[in-house]
């Protein structure tokens, strides 16, 4: 999960995406992107720090290693900062209107998370660089089944950051 450029003191920081699922009650099942933002406002560990925390958890690595996250939140709170040597936090998030114009405006400042409803054929497009998904989908936000990160656009299409896990969701 990349941060936007400059969010970690001028550098682009990689965050451990697993922590958003692993540290949320119920894991991914029934999750909502707003829960991730709430967690990110508290603080998220950089990918290397997350890997260390999970390794230190030992055989029970499927549970959330809360101590490093609690320490990060405490460090960020005590110094009133948004990033540290171990992680960072977002200051806010907002919902943009569902229009191409609003999306392009938001992309001028940072990557944008978009919710979408993908049909059963969505997995056929996983890992297929340069393909445009034209399968069955709904524009009803309540039917959203996936979240993707939009990182840019061309005159014809929006550019979605490739997923890095073997899970197509």
Domain-embedded: residue 166: no
Clarify whether residues 82 and 135 are in a common domain: no
Give the largest CA-CA distance in the chain: 49
For residue 80, the model assigns a pLDDT of 86
Alpha-carbon distance of 144 to 51, in angstroms, equals: 30
Alpha-carbon distance of 95 to 129, in angstroms, equals: 28
Domain-embedded: residue 9: no
Domain end position, chosen among 88, 108, 142: 88
For residue 103, the model assigns a pLDDT of 94
For residue 106, the model assigns a pLDDT of 93
For residue 168, the model assigns a pLDDT of 41
Domain-embedded: residue 7: no
Domain end position, chosen among 88, 112, 144: 88
Domain-embedded: residue 39: yes
Domain range enclosing 132: 100-160
pLDDT by residue, tens only, the chain of 169 residues: 444 444 444 455 677 777 877 887 665 555 677 778 888 888 889 989 988 988 888 776 667 888 898 999 999 999 888 889 999 988 888 888 989 999 999 999 888 888 877 777 766 665 566 666 666 777 777 777 777 888 999 998 888 876 544 444 4
For residue 3, the model assigns a pLDDT of 44
Domain-embedded: residue 11: no
Clarify whether residues 107 and 154 are in a common domain: yes
Beta strands in the chain, from DSSP E residues, in sequence order = 44-45, 87-88, 112-116, 146-153, 158-160
- Do the bridges between strand 158-160 and strand 146-153 make them parallel or antiparallel, or are there none, so unpaired? antiparallel
For residue 104, the model assigns a pLDDT of 94
Clarify whether residues 84 and 104 are in a common domain: no
Alpha-carbon distance of 98 to 151, in angstroms, equals: 17
Domain-embedded: residue 45: yes
Is the whole model's pTM more than 0.85, yes or no? no
Domain-embedded: residue 35: yes
Domain-embedded: residue 22: yes
Rg (CA), the chain: 17
Count of domains forming the chain? 2
Q: Is 104 exposed, middle or buried (0-12, 13-18, 19+ CB in 10 A)?
A: middle
CA torsion through residues 35, 109, 140, 29, sign: negative
């Amino acid at each position: 999960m990349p941060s936007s450029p400059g969010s970690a003191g001028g550098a682009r920081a990689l965050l451990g995406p697993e922590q958003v699922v692993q540290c949320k009650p119920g894991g991914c099942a029934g999750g909502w992107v707003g829960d991730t933002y709430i967690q990110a406002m508290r603080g998220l560990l950089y990918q290397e720090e997350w890997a260390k925390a999970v390794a230190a958890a030992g055989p029970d690595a499927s549970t959330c290693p809360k101590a490093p996250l609690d320490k990060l939140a405490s460090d960020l709170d005590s110094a009133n900062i948004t990033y540290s040597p171990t992680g960072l936090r977002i200051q806010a998030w907002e919902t943009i209107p569902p229009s191409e114009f609003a999306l392009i405006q938001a992309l001028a400042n940072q990557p944008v998370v978009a919710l979408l409803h993908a049909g059963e054929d969505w997995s056929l497009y996983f890992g297929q660089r340069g393909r445009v998904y034209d399968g069955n989908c709904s524009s009803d936000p309540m039917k959203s089944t996936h979240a993707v990160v939009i990182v840019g656009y061309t005159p014809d299409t929006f550019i979605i950051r490739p997923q890095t896990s073997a899970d197509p969701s």
